């Protein structure tokens, strides 16, 4: 998230899925060895962000994401080609991914253990399917903004990692648009200062802990 | 600033100068001994925020603030009483304060060394007057949002301390409204994690430092 609250720039498109300027929110990640490895690239560095990324990847059995994060609106796709989203033929998830959409579609099985399943009956149904697929592990909510807002409003987010980039976007998609003035029990539990980014981890307070 | 980018809540008024919910952005400060002392109150704690507040108060010779931060729009004042703003008879500044306004008014000298001077010819004139009054010390830009935006856009901010409160306001005044996608050379140089707040200090990069 940018310092002014945006998680994607304006004018998202197939050519520019993060929107104008959105790439600057991810530069800290692209510099990391752990990120580059996951995308089959060499090199990169190890720094304070490494353990945050490790932590965010640990014990994940399934992922939920919005339609835009999978690959944008179907109207933008080339209908003559089988659109596999923005993630290539070997996406970095390696587990079941559930995509929130209004458009029915058969599951899409790609290389490396990633299957995209398209869920058309709402966020709770998607979470329930993801929970079952995760087999006791955690479910990751990957984004984008609209999916995050819906799950936050429904009070279904137990943990939230904000990677705050100290730059402005000025326009685009705001993470907390429409969420109101209530984090639904999420409290800041950890801060990690790293190059180009500050990681803020939130978790639901354990009831009774402050008796 | 709240996690969603607001520095004041909606519906600011003489009764509620921080706007609805705005007080929650200041709870970390009200808990501090150093803050309570400055407002002639006993008690309070010493924690990681203490040195950030000490740093922000050190070497300040003059302050600039917007009209709302002084005491709101003149139309809201009771014209039968001499309005001294929201700061009481002994404001916590103890040095010259320059208020950006469109309404001419004689300077207001209060107890403890604070004089409010009302500047009607723009932000650069106010800064110039404050610089002269500061006598070689720094000039503090106290806020509010609109004053901060004007000085940021003009590239006149050398340092910026964001005290990020991990809560949402949902509406109110956004710090970076209208500033665009450019921090005008300000870079994050220091992060302090403290109870109820994360302090992010920005400063202008020194030219040539990355040769």
Segment-wise mean pLDDT, segments of 10 residues, chain A, 211 residues:
96 81 94 90 96 95 92 62 74 94 91 94 98 97 94 97 97 97 97 98 76 40
Beta-ladder partners of A109: A115
Instruction: Reply yes or no on whether the pLDDT at B101 is more than 90.
Output: yes
Lowest-confidence pick of B12-16, B102-106, B140-144, B157-161: B12-16
Sheet (strand A108-109) strand order: A108-109, A115-119, A96-100, A60-66, A138-143
Size of interface A-B (CB pairs under 8 A): 76
Pairing of strands A60-66, A138-143: parallel
B180–A168: do the CB atoms touch at under 8 Å?
yes
CA angle A99-A101-A104, nearest 5°? 100
A179–B187: do the CB atoms touch at under 8 Å?
no
Count of residues in chain A: 211
Closest CA to B115 of B132, B100, B94, B135: B94
Residue B27 at interface with chain A, using a CB cutoff of 8 Å: no
Greater model confidence, B84 or A95: A95
Alpha helices in A39-183, H assignment, sequence order = 48-57, 67-70, 123-134, 145-153
Greater model confidence, B185 or B85: B185
pTM above 0.95, yes or no: no
Q: Say which DSSP state A90 is in.
A: S
Nearest CA in chain B to A167: B183
CA angle B117-B120-B180, nearest 5°? 110
- Measured CA to CA, the distance from residue A126 to residue B64 in angstroms comes to 52
Domains in chain B, CATH or no CATH each: 19-74+89-204 (3.40.430.10)
Q: Tell me the pLDDT band of B178, cut-offs 50, 70 and 90.
A: very high
Pairing of strands A115-119, A96-100: parallel
Interface test with A, best of B21, B145, B165, B168 (most A CBs within 10 A): B168
Q: Tell the burial category of B17 from Cβ atoms under 10 Å away from its Cβ (0-12, 13-18, 19+).
A: middle
- Measured CA to CA, the distance from residue A133 to residue B188 in angstroms comes to 41
Nearest CA in chain A to B4: A5
Residue B210 at interface with chain A, using a CB cutoff of 8 Å: no
What confidence score (pLDDT) does residue A211 get? 40
B183–A3: do the CB atoms touch at under 8 Å?
yes
Residue B187 at interface with chain A, using a CB cutoff of 8 Å: yes
Strands (E), B80-196: 96-100, 108-109, 115-119, 138-143, 159-164, 173-174, 186-194
Other beta carbons within 10 angstroms of residue B123's beta carbon come to: 19
- The crossing angle, in degrees rounded to 10, of helices A145-153 and A123-134 is 90
Q: Which residues of chain B are within 8 Å of residue A176 when distances are taken between CB atoms?
A: 3-4, 168, 170
Q: Does residue B149 contact residue B178 with C-beta atoms inside 8 Å?
A: yes
What confidence score (pLDDT) does residue B211 get? 40
Nearest Cβ partner for A179 among B170, B182, B188: B170
Q: Which residues of chain B are within 8 Å of residue A181 when distances are taken between CB atoms?
A: 21, 167-171
Q: Say which DSSP state B83 is in.
A: -
Tell me what ipTM this predicted complex has.
0.89
Cis ω before B144 (30° cut-off from 0)? yes
Interface test with B, best of A2, A5, A186 (most B CBs within 10 A): A5
Q: Say which DSSP state B186 is in.
A: E
Strands (E), A25-165: 60-66, 96-100, 108-109, 115-119, 138-143, 159-164
Closest CA to A166 of B186, B196, B208, B7: B186
Average pLDDT over residues B20-42: 91
A170–B179: do the CB atoms touch at under 8 Å?
yes
Q: Does residue B169 contact residue B2 with C-beta atoms inside 8 Å?
A: yes
Q: Which residues of chain B are within 8 Å of residue A198 when distances are taken between CB atoms?
A: 188, 191, 198, 200
Nearest Cβ partner for B181 among A162, A170, A175: A170
A181–B169: do the CB atoms touch at under 8 Å?
yes
CA distance B179 to chain A (A): 7
Sequence-separated (6 or more) residues with CB below 8 Å from residue B186: B157, B159, B160, B202, B203, B204
Q: Which residues of chain A are within 8 Å of residue B153 when distances are taken between CB atoms?
A: none
Instruction: Reply yes or no on whether the pLDDT at B18 is more than 60.
Output: yes
Nearest Cβ partner for A176 among B3, B21, B164: B3
A166–B183: do the CB atoms touch at under 8 Å?
yes
The values of phi and psi at residue A136, to 5°, are 95, -15
Helix (H) or strand (E) segment spanning residue A34: helix A33-38
CA distance B150 to chain A (A): 15
What confidence score (pLDDT) does residue B15 get? 73
- Measured CA to CA, the distance from residue B110 to residue A96 in angstroms comes to 67
A174–B4: do the CB atoms touch at under 8 Å?
yes
Lookup: tokens for B80: 């039968």
Residues A86-123 as b/e (b if ≥16 CB within 10 A, e otherwise) read ebeeebebbbbbbbbbeeeeeebebeeebbbbbbeeeb
Q: Does residue B86 contact residue B94 with C-beta atoms inside 8 Å?
A: no
A3–B169: do the CB atoms touch at under 8 Å?
no
Lookup: tokens for B186: 């300000």
What confidence score (pLDDT) does residue B181 get? 96
Nearest CA in chain B to A195: B188
């Amino acid at each position: 998230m940018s310092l002014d609250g945006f998680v994607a720039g304006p004018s998202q498109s197939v050519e520019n899925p993060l929107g104008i300027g959105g790439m600057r929110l991810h530069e800290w990640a692209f510099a990391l060895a752990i990120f580059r490895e996951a995308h089959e690239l060499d090199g990169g560095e190890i720094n304070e962000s490494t353990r945050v990324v490790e932590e965010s990847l640990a014990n994940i059995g399934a992922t939920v994401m919005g339609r835009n994060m999978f690959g944008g609106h179907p109207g933008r796709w080339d209908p003559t080609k089988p659109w596999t989203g923005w993630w290539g033929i070997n996406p970095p998830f390696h587990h079941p991914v559930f995509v929130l959409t209004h458009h029915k579609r058969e599951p899409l099985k790609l290389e490396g253990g990633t299957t995209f399943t398209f869920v058309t009956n709402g966020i709770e149904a998607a979470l329930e399917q993801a929970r079952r697929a995760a087999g006791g592990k955690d479910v990751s909510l990957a984004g984008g903004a609209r999916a995050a807002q819906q799950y936050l409003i429904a009070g279904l987010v137990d943990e939230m990692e904000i990677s705050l980039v100290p730059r402005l976007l000025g326009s685009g998609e705001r993470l907390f648009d429409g969420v109101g003035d209530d984090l639904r029990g999420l409290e800041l539990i950890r801060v990690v200062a790293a190059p180009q980014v500050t990681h803020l981890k939130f978790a639901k307070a354990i009831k009774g802990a402050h008796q």
